[in-house]
Amino acid sequence: MRIVILGSGRGSNARAILEARRDGRLGDTEVVHLFADKPEAGILALGPEFGVPATFVDPAPFKTKLDGEGELRYIDAIAACQPDYVVLAGFMRVLKPGFLGAFAGRIINLHPSLLPSFPGLDGIGQAWRRGVKVTGCTVHFVTAEVDGGPIIDQAAVRIEPGDTLDTLTEKVHAAEHALLPAVIAWLSQAGG
């Protein structure tokens, strides 16, 4: 199974996938390319470390969505990799119909809440401010509805009385780093 990973930030979830691959925990999955929408994104530094091509692709002209010329650049770059799945690991852009159509049924996203609760930006902060006792993370298929696609799997994180927003964030990130590679391994075993 061939995957590409898209990210916007430091790349901790991409690192978890790459480490799982290196350690033999992803079955026959091959990470064929890393893409970032910011030239300074930490995910790009993972390429040389793990021997995977890593490329900044200009998402312009929009700041929060992938549309227009930027969308076409991404579609072309990803299609050239012939992936079975496109994995969004902290890719902070709303995807539009052209991209969704190009990779229909093959885009998965990691979200830091137990969807359908707390979709959109700052899922951890939303849960914290609401005062829930259990939150977590979700891996789901991507559809036109933001964070609304079919759920593949989830991991729960209990909010303890002594937790702070910072400790909760650490706990959710730890759950993400376990869940996303586990889902990719399951997809690989299921035949991609």
Q: Which residue has the tokens 């890719």?
A: 91
What is the model's pTM? Answer: 0.95
| pLDDT score, position 61 | 84
Residue 191 pLDDT greater than 80, yes or no: no
**Residue of 111, 140, 173, 177 marked active site:** 111
Q: Which residue has the tokens 């890593």?
A: 54
CA 5 to chain centre: 7
Residue 106 pLDDT greater than 90, yes or no: yes
Annotation marks residue 140 as catalytic: no
Q: What are phi and psi of 153, to 5 degrees?
A: -165, 165
Look up residue 34 and give its amino acid.
L
Q: What percent of the chain has pLDDT over 90?
A: 92
Residue 5 structure tokens? 């990973």
The structural domains of the chain, with segments of one domain joined by +, span 2-112+139-154+180-189
Neighbouring C-beta atoms of residue 190, cutoff 10 Å: 9
In degrees, rounded to 5, the angle at the alpha carbon of residue 145 between the alpha carbons of residues 34 and 115 is: 80
Class of domain 2-112+139-154+180-189: alpha beta
Tell me the pLDDT tens digit for each residue of 120-178.
999 999 999 999 999 999 999 999 999 999 999 999 999 999 999 999 999 999 999 99
What does the alpha-carbon distance between residue 89 and residue 110 come to, in Å, rounded to a whole number? 6
63 pLDDT tier (thresholds 50, 70, 90) = confident
